Amino acid sequence: MSRLTDLPKRILIGRALQSDKLGETLLPKRIALPVFASDALSSVAYAPEQIFLALSVAGMATLHFSWWIGAVVALVMLVVVASYRQNVHAYPSGGGDYEVATVNLGANAGLTVASALLVDYVLTVAVSTTSGVANIVSALPSLHGHEVLLSVLLVLVLMAMNLRGVRESGTAFAIPTYAFMVGVIGLMIWAAIRKYALGDTMHAESEAFHLVPQHGHENVAGLAMVFLLLKTFSSGCAALTGVEAISNGVPAFRKPKSKNAATTLLMMALIAVTMLIGIIWMGNMTGLRMSEDTSQLIGAPANYHQKTALAQISEAVFSNFTPGFYFIAAVTGLILVLAANTAFNGFPVLGSILAQDRYLPRQLHTRGDRLAFSNGIILLATVAIVFIIGYNADPNRLIQLYIIGVFVSFNMSQTGMIRHWTRLLKTETDPARRRHMIRSRIINSVGLVCTACVLIVVLGTKFMSGAWMSCLLMVVFFVLMKGIHRHYSRVSDELALDEESVQEEEALPARIHGVVLVSKLHKPTLRALAYAKSARTFALEAVTVDVDPADTEALQAEWERRGIDVPLKVLHSPYREITGPVVDYVKRLRSSNPRDVVTVYIPEYVVGHWYEQVLHNQSALRLKGRLLFKPGVMVTSVPWQLESSTRRRTPQRRWNAPGQVRRGDLGRREERSGSASQ
């Protein structure tokens, strides 16, 4: 059976790697950039769109504000990146915001950050894949209506690729990420050439449509205008998602890790800001119109399916070069889908750290065959698929849940870094190092002010639009991790050694009382009796439960006829139950001699096929489950392998008809055990 299951596993994730090959999975900067920065880079594909969508509720009169909103978002991104460059130098272990908050602000602050990041990683996968599918559908309208299926399939593909390991998935993602950067920057250059050198005019598909303000936004002014601009700004801040991923992935960089991570972070910021401003410029130049409700678009045809912002822009700029439009559509769809890889790299690492700190199940700390944290990868994919299905793969709905977690972690991280530098300054005497620390503290302080303002704006403008779900999920994660930590702490305290417990455990039990369960006299019973005798227990007896008087009398007669030297005790069971009388009898043995240990021997036979297993009751399994919770009771299974299990365990070969290939059994099925005390 193991061979049969191992073959598809190897095809899916590749051959297993030895633990000493972990260093081979470390990434150079050219690969780390697309692996860890694909989320932040790809967000510029939908962040400008969110700005145009938010402004559209007031009609065309407010579209010119997109320039100002984009500039402020770019400024905030640069400030945040400057702050995180301090983080990666100070905390290169990969804990990122979680480690910074835990070390400097305490465990509860660290858990708050961890909860926010876990939610953010899940939403990153959901938003990125659904946005990617939306771009693909813009180029291939025939796929409209299949967005959920396509999004789920893409998440499963990403999961499989990441299960193969960081380096392989990073190499696979490098080409489309660089292609996206080249495509968008090339689009900007060609748009500038056409406009300023050739004097061409470019028109988006929606330029001819007229935006009608939504009800209640016809005459936006005063406080209403301020609220609209703040909401637009919070939507545009989606461009900042993924900035923190590099600080969480520092261990995956080649040495010097901190320097390489900081350089990659700066490269990512400069490229993202350039593309963000460029797309907003092209959107205004081509007369782009976007609306969540296409009925607002006066002049649009019936059943109009709105293309994404970048698709409309590229169609306008490459109006005389159709392959260019399809290239942009392809690489945009790919980068948005592959941006989820940032989460597939960050979530498992964070989950491993939390598991090591006993806040998540320990299984998340275990590396798989390919040295990736396989359980974390599978968990992330599963939860993301639930969100995709629940929100019908609509990126505009999912993005309302987004950003909250990002800026919660930003704020906690910057607060922790300020305390970190303040603590170090109290003991540092070297003037040069003190100047460096003071400069870093100022950068983190500016970052805190910016991210705190953004968080207030996001909460105020998006809470009722769906962000409340993110807040609820963060609370659920926080409470869940606290509960897991309490459980592990309680177990650790109970298992911890002290002088008294060492003396108690080293002391041998006064006596061992052996009990062999018997239903009938056959080969498994004789083997169990022989095995129990070899243990040289103080007292040994066989026990049977009287569920059928005639069978019990026949067993007693056969026992005496064979002259078996182990006494047979009969337990009465007026309700024909087996487990209860045995458990009660074992409890009485323990109560009469508390220092004795009772060992229960259960004869079992092993079958070779699953369909044979269902033909036998599970009395042995139920009995072991009940005795497991009884102190001072040991349970020993004594197996008897039936012929079918022996055949399944031994590979069989046969010669077929002449001219045919000799075929061997590809594997064996898992052996199934059944009770022989039935």
pLDDT value at 3 more than 60: no
Rounded CA-CA distance 652/4 in Å is 15
Q: Among 671, 639, 620, 643, which residue's Cα sits nearest to residue 525?
A: 639
Helices (H), 366-519: 374-390, 395-398, 404-425, 431-462, 467-495, 499-506
In 47-180, the DSSP E strands lie at none
Higher pLDDT, 511 or 585: 585
- pLDDT in the model for residue 661: 41
> Can you spell out the DSSP letters for 114-128?
HHHHHHHHHHHHHHH
- pLDDT in the model for residue 276: 93
Q: Which of 286-300, 301-315, 457-471, 541-555 has the highest mean pLDDT?
A: 541-555
Residue whose structure tokens are 């003071």? 438
Average pLDDT over residues 52-56: 82
Rounded CA-CA distance 317/323 in Å is 12
pLDDT value at 540 more than 80: yes
- pLDDT in the model for residue 255: 82
600: helix, coil or strand? strand
Quick one: pLDDT band at residue 25, thresholds 50, 70, 90?
low
* Parallel/antiparallel/unpaired status of strands 653-654 and 663-664: antiparallel
Helices 322-338 and 29-42, packing angle to 10 deg:
100
Quick one: pLDDT band at residue 662, thresholds 50, 70, 90?
very low
Say what percent of the chain tops pLDDT 70.
79
Tell which CATH classification among 3.40.50.620, 3.40.50.2300, 1.10.150.120, 3.40.50.970 matches the domain 511-675.
Answer: 3.40.50.620
Burial 65-85 (b: 16+ CB within 10 A, else e): bbeebbebbbebbbbbbbbbb
- pLDDT in the model for residue 39: 74
Rounded CA-CA distance 274/182 in Å is 12
637: helix, coil or strand? strand
Pick the range with the lowest mean pLDDT from 225-239, 306-320, 410-424. Answer: 225-239
Q: Among 338, 276, 321, 286, which residue's Cα sits nearest to residue 307?
A: 286
Higher pLDDT, 323 or 611: 323
52: helix, coil or strand? helix
Domain ranges of the chain: 26-400, 511-675
CATH architecture of the domain 26-400 equals Up-down Bundle (1.20)
pLDDT value at 1 more than 50: no
- pLDDT in the model for residue 615: 54
Take residue 22 and report the two structure tokens written for it.
């972990």
Q: How far is CA 479 from CA 359, 381, 475, in A?
A: 10, 22, 6
Rounded CA-CA distance 334/128 in Å is 10
Mean of the per-residue pLDDT values of the chain: 79
pLDDT tens track for 308-353? 888 899 999 998 888 888 899 888 888 887 777 778 877 887 888 8
Backbone φ, ψ for residue 76 (5° rounding): -60, -40
pLDDT value at 669 more than 50: no
Rounded CA-CA distance 86/421 in Å is 10
Residue type, 593: N
- pLDDT in the model for residue 639: 85
- pLDDT in the model for residue 637: 87
Backbone φ, ψ for residue 576 (5° rounding): 60, 30
Q: Which of 49-53, 303-307, 493-497 has the highest mean pLDDT?
A: 49-53
